[in-house]
Structure 1
Amino acid sequence: MFLQRSAVAVARRAAVSPVVPVVRRSFAASVIRRDAKNVEPHASISQKVKTFEEIKTEEDLIGAGAAPGTVPTDLEQATGLERLEILGKMQGVDIFDMRPLDSSRKGTLDNPIVVKSAGDEQYAGCTGSPADSHIVIWLGMSRERPIERCPECGSVYKMEYIGPEDDGHGHHDHHGYEEPKTFADFVKPQYW
């Protein structure tokens, strides 16, 4: 009974639309730039975009930006490594070498699977051999400890450092930080 009364009350309060169809206007806003004809091109935008081979210093990785009043493209707004990657891809160069690792074989101590790195540390995901034999196990390698072995399948990975010998930042000491000891620190190197 209570539900019937509340349903009737709700029905009475409901807005009844008139029989005559009302044309409703949708809300739309637009912004018109009245001085668009007077926009002068930015002086540095008229410069030629440097090619991948012309990049020599970090200053070359800063773009000129987009012209005022326009939406910048990815190349116009990219700086640093992102700009270097875009310029490389425009000329068919994959600067980060995003190919998957060789999973057709199992790495051994004599013939490990080589992982190239431009940084002090690199992570590699092992899925076993043949590929997808086990779930992904992430292995961390560093310049101090370049060889890692997968605990699931035993495959050996070795980090090959390809970056600059001295990066000039002085981060090699990590301000007195010492990596925590693990069981691997107490195993003789010939058993790695």
Structure 2
Amino acid sequence: MLVQRSAFALARRVAFRPATTRTFTSSVVLRLTKDDPSPGGESKTLKKFEDIKSMEDLIPPGAKPGTVPTDMEQATGLERLELLGKMQGVDIFDMKPLDSSRKGTLDDPIIVRSFGDEQYAGCTGFPADSHVVKWLTMSRARPVERCTECGNVLKMEYVGPQEDPHHDDHGHGDHHTYEEPKTMADFVRPEYR
């Protein structure tokens, strides 16, 4: 009787497992068509990076009906420009890390290039990783920023279009109606900057 109760108790504790199990798996299938270029090869449907002159050149051909589109068949705008650049070995957005081999000074700051009116950069100190990341905000109106932890100086270099319709002489676009709030940097004498 004791053995029988022990067997039933053990059977209740063991998870039920059916005799046939079905596993669900997914796999990535690379679909190559005759139009897809081989590495280093020429494409018949993709424009070269150098041939892109307007936004209309960044509209993809799309996928054939009944198929799942690839990234190149559906990416548009900046994403498509980045993919076309990567296919030809061009780093569109300059994703290299900032120069950390030296400490920026007011006379020789670390240059940060930006296409926008404002740029954020993280400072980890000199030598690299000597303090936690301090985020610095640079703008066209205030291009130079100094890290409060280590004193590293960064300067934003605007490389975007010179004729920006959203930018006026005060460093704000036409849609801004506020004045930038003052910080302690506004009260530092110019000779100490």
Q: Same fold (TM over 0.5)?
A: yes
What pairs with 1:30-179 in structure 2 (closer than 5 Å)? 48-169=45-166, 172-179=173-180
Give the secondary-structure state (helix, strand or coil) at the position aligned to 1:115: strand
Shift of 1:190: 2.5
Does the 8 Å CA contact 2:136/2:147 hold for their aligned counterparts? yes
Q: CA deviation at 1:70?
A: 1.1
4+ aligned runs moved over 6 Å, structure 1: none
Q: Distance in 2 between matches of 1:190 and 1:75?
A: 53
Give secondary structure in 2 for the equivalent of 1:138.
strand
Identity %: 71
- Letter matched to residue 115 of structure 1: V
**Whole-Å separation in 2 of the counterparts to 1:113 and 1:169:** 27
Are residues 1:190 and 2:187 paired?
no
Secondary structure of the residue that 1:139 maps to in structure 2? strand
- 1:180 maps to 181
3-state DSSP of counterpart to 2:176: helix
Deviation (angstroms), 1:188? 2.1
Aligned residue pairs total 162
Counterpart AA for 2:181? P
Name the larger-Rg structure.
1
Instruction: Name the TM-score, length of structure 1 as normaliser.
Output: 0.75
1:4: which partner in 2? none
SS at match of 1:176: coil
Please report how far the alpha carbon of residue 167 of structure 1 lies from its aligned counterpart in structure 2 after TM superposition. Answer: 2.6
